[in-house]
Amino acid sequence: MSNYSIYLEEFTEQHDFSDYLKLVNDKNNTYAIEGIDEKRITKKELIKFINEYDGILYGIFNEKKRHIGNLSFSKIDDRKKICNTGILLSQSYQGCGYAFQAMVLGLGNIFDNFNIDTVQLFVLESNLSAIRLYEKLGFQLQGVAHNQFFKNGQYKDSLEYRIEKRNFKYYP
């Protein structure tokens, strides 16, 4: 863990929200995130989202304890041993390997400490930096999910990727 310049912490109401509000209201950076539309998100709405989150919502923090992004695991299905993941990193911290580190920590934890064998995600075909990240981590393309993505009244196709516990090679 000491080789990592970031750490994950479950995000709660007690955390400082200033960076989180900037993060979700940077609409250029969230174009590929479902559930965040054109409307400005308020602190009250964010607190409600955090408190009602059905899954694990990690904040990604850097060595200066700055909140630089989020990594989530949701739709946790104990019977099928599968869950979904999503990541959002502040634009100022992209391209530094932090997203990769965060996903290594998050996937390692989910495979070690939860009854999960498969992690699934959906990504827009146009989101090349996200696709590069997922493929570097060992996620494998399953196929095109027609009209899987819905935002601002429009449907788009997504790519479905999965990684299995037995193929995950970056245990922290």
Ligand X SMILES: CC(C)(COP(=O)(O)OP(=O)(O)OC[C@H]1O[C@@H](n2cnc3c(N)ncnc32)[C@H](O)[C@@H]1OP(=O)(O)O)[C@@H](O)C(=O)NCCC(=O)NCCS
Kindly list the residues in this chain that would bind ligand X in the complex (CB under 6 A). 29, 32-33, 86-89, 94-100, 123, 127, 129-130, 132-133, 136
CB of 79 to ligand X, least distance (A): 25
Cα 126 from Cα 137, distance rounded (Å): 19
Residues 6+ apart with CB under 8 A from 9: 15, 58, 59, 61
CB of 126 to ligand X, least distance (A): 10
Q: Which residue, among 106, 120, 13, has the nearest Cα to 76 in the 3D structure?
A: 120
Choose between 97 and 108: whose C-beta lies nearer to ligand X: 97
Q: Which amino acid is at 69?
A: G
Choose between 116 and 133: whose C-beta lies nearer to ligand X: 133
**Strands (DSSP E) found in 55-124:** 55-62, 67-77, 82-89, 118-124
Choose between 16 and 125: whose C-beta lies nearer to ligand X: 125
Q: Which amino acid is at 165?
A: K
CB of 84 to ligand X, least distance (A): 10
Q: Which two tokens stand for residue 59?
A: 């904040």
CB of 137 to ligand X, least distance (A): 8
Choose between 35 and 95: whose C-beta lies nearer to ligand X: 95
